[in-house]
Amino acid sequence: MNVKIEESWRKRLQEEFDKPYFERLATFVKSEYSHAHVLPHGSQIFYIFNACPFEKVKVVILGQDPYPTPGQYYGVCFSAPEGTAIPGSLANIFKEIHQDLGKPIPASGNLDRWVAQGVFPMNSILTVRAYETGSHRNMGWEIFTDAVIKKLSDEREHLVFMLWGSYAKEKRPLINENKHLVLTSAHPSPRSAEHGFFGCKHFSKANTFLQSKGMTGIDW
């Protein structure tokens, strides 16, 4: 199957695109777009891959579902477009960065400035019906994004993986911890941030690790 995606990713993921599960997934997603309100826009499904080539990734942040509210999700996990309200989880991420590094809390929830520095925030599921969280679970996206995590773990070294919440922590076995730093905590959601996300200091820990490997840290 021919999927339009940035070349460094395409050559590594073509084997996934050619597998039967992905053919079934693509058929399902096309059908959903044809008769339901599906997020994000079709051209944005692989936005994070096109914005952050494989070799540039430094930090991987794993999420689960896209935001199901129209206008909030454009293909970058936790991020929100310029001019839209900052979602609760992202507001808590900004609070933790402020507490951890002393940085002012941004007025915009757009995380493209992180992506440009090598931060790769990826949801496990890349599409969703509007207002129906989890509506595209178990259709094949998880198989695909697990393969992405495995590729990054196997073919890169000295990456930072941030696993927030029980769902993201389930991905830990896919990562070679002899090569990479894995940081885990509670999810930054307003329901759980008080139970271990606040105070996790993941952002300073990530930069300390990257700098110890001769890389520049992230300007969070």
Q: Catalytic one among 18, 65, 112, 154? A: 65
pTM attached to this predicted model: 0.96
Residue 65 annotated to the active site: yes
Helices within 109-140 (DSSP H only): 112-115
Indicate the domain borders of the chain: 7-212
Q: Which residues contact 183 (CB under 8 A, 6 or more apart)?
A: 160, 161, 162, 163, 200, 202, 205, 206
Q: What per-residue confidence (pLDDT) applies to 59?
A: 98
Ranges in the chain, pLDDT < 70: none
Q: Domain 7-212, what fold?
A: Uracil-DNA Glycosylase, subunit E (3.40.470)
Tell me how many degrees the CA angle 197-198-202 measures, rounded to the nearest 5: 65
